[in-house]
Amino acid sequence: MSKTPITVAYGDGIGPEIMDATLKILDAAGAQLDIETIEIGEKVYLRGGTTGLEESAWDSLRRTKVFLKAPITTPQGGGYKSLNVTIRKALGLYANVRPAVAYYPFVETKHPNMDVVIIRENEEDLYAGIEHRQTEQVYQCLKLITQPGSEKVIRYAFEYARSYGRKKVTCFVKDNIMKLTDGIFHRMFDEIGKEYPDIEKETWIVDIGAAKLANSPEEFDVIVMPNLYGDIMSDIAAQISGSVGLGGSANIGDQCAMFEAVHGSAPPLAGKNLANPSGLLLAAVMMLQHIGQPEVASRVHNAWLKTIEDGIHTFDIYREGISKQQVGTKEFAQAVIDRL
């Protein structure tokens, strides 16, 4: 198999450690990757880049079109643009895919049967960043929803459901209030849904949907929604599934894709060989599927699962009675490699 070129960024905080662990596992599993490394994040911001990404990094991303990204730290103080939002927009990453799965009893959760994938529109909505001060005391932000933008992410959600054998796609909107913006999202959901008669469809007003998701997440399968709702719901889902530390995510565009952990750079844990590399590793599994190396993806995923099921874990997902061995980042990676 020829090697697939990918761009890798080690990020800040715990980023370097979990990236190291992840890449070691991928290598041992036989992933065929040609890795280009770029620098992003805090240091780049502080060198004066308002976006935390330099021109050479963009060159690499445009060339490889696949980005495995560790979490970064945005420096304190104003004037820094969100790197994530910048990348999503610059590379046209319109769908953000965030699975949230319970690994009970190995990971503590109140929702042992949940297995939901949140697919979030990733470029529009209030994230368009159009904001201004209208008068001294009045501030405005523009929420923007387009028909093609809605159509793309909704179609992606149905295709995703079909190719992963999922039974139902749910839509969250607030179109009793936002009849035009959320209205078009809802209408596109109904319209595109007709092309997928094999898949069950339902729509919830976002507040009611959110309440159901928080209370009985096992009733959902794939959920698609506008950007801001997706931001909130995917964090809820990750957390109640047991740990944000296990969440991986894919940002998908027509040309490019970016894969990352759901969690942040956790500066207090950095450099201590404590961090859980699972979120980034599960993102890397999604990357392997995306670049056409599904067998390697399965191999890594199964070895990770086996490690967890053997009671081997980092400090963050300790469970009384289930825990067999609490290990550091490196030892956890080695345990996964031993099970490949």
Ligand X SMILES: CC(C)[C@H](C(=O)O)[C@@H](O)C(=O)O
Q: Residues interacting with its own copies, by CB under 8 A?
A: 74, 78, 82, 85, 110, 126-127, 129, 131-133, 136-148, 174, 176-181, 183-184, 206-208, 210-212, 214-215, 228-229, 231-232, 234-236, 238-240, 244
Burial 65-95, CB ≥16 within 10 A → b, else e: bbbbbbbbbbeeeeebeebbbebbbebebbb
**Closest CB to ligand X among residues 120, 299:** 120
Asked if 260 and 8 count as a contact pair (C-beta separation under 8 A), the reply is no
The partner in contact with residue 133, picked from its own copies, ligand X, none with C-beta cut-offs of 5 to 8 angstroms by kind, is its own copies
What type of residue sits at position 211? A
Instruction: Report, in Å, the least distance between residue 183 CB and its own copies.
Output: 8
**Closest CB to ligand X among residues 4, 227:** 227
Burial 138-177, CB ≥16 within 10 A → b, else e: eeeeebebeeebbbbbbbbbbebbeeeebeebbbbbbbee
**Closest CB to its own copies among residues 29, 261:** 261
Q: Sort 118 into a burial class: Cβ within 10 Å, 0-12 / 13-18 / 19+.
A: buried
Token reading at 271: 């450099």
Asked if 90 and 106 count as a contact pair (C-beta separation under 8 A), the reply is no
Non-local (6+) Cβ contacts of 20 within 8 A are: 10, 329, 333
Instruction: Report, in Å, the least distance between residue 236 CB and ligand X.
Output: 11
**Closest CB to ligand X among residues 82, 239:** 82
Instruction: Report, in Å, the least distance between residue 85 CB and ligand X.
Output: 5
Q: Is 272 left (phi over 0), alpha (psi -120 to 50) or beta?
A: alpha
**Closest CB to its own copies among residues 238, 312:** 238
What's CA 105's distance to the chain center, in Å?
Answer: 23
**Closest CB to ligand X among residues 46, 177:** 177
**Beta carbons within 10 angstroms of residue 183's beta carbon:** 16
The partner in contact with residue 221, picked from its own copies, ligand X, none with C-beta cut-offs of 5 to 8 angstroms by kind, is none
Instruction: Report, in Å, the least distance between residue 123 CB and its own copies.
Output: 13
Full 3-state SS string of 50-94: CCCECHHHHHHHHHHCEEEECCCCCCCCCCCCCHHHHHHHHCCEE
Instruction: Report, in Å, the least distance between residue 173 CB and ligand X.
Output: 12
**Closest CB to its own copies among residues 5, 183:** 183
Which residues contribute to the site for ligand X (CB under 6 A)?
82, 84-85, 176-177, 207, 231
**Closest CB to its own copies among residues 28, 205:** 205
Instruction: Report, in Å, the least distance between residue 188 CB and its own copies.
Output: 11
Instruction: Report, in Å, the least distance between residue 174 CB and ligand X.
Output: 7
Instruction: Report, in Å, the least distance between residue 64 CB and ligand X.
Output: 21
The partner in contact with residue 298, picked from ligand X, its own copies, none with C-beta cut-offs of 5 to 8 angstroms by kind, is none
In Å, how far are 79, 130, 133, 135, 331 from 138, measured between CA atoms?
A: 21, 14, 6, 5, 54
CA-to-CA distance for 144 and 72, rounded, in angstroms?
Answer: 27
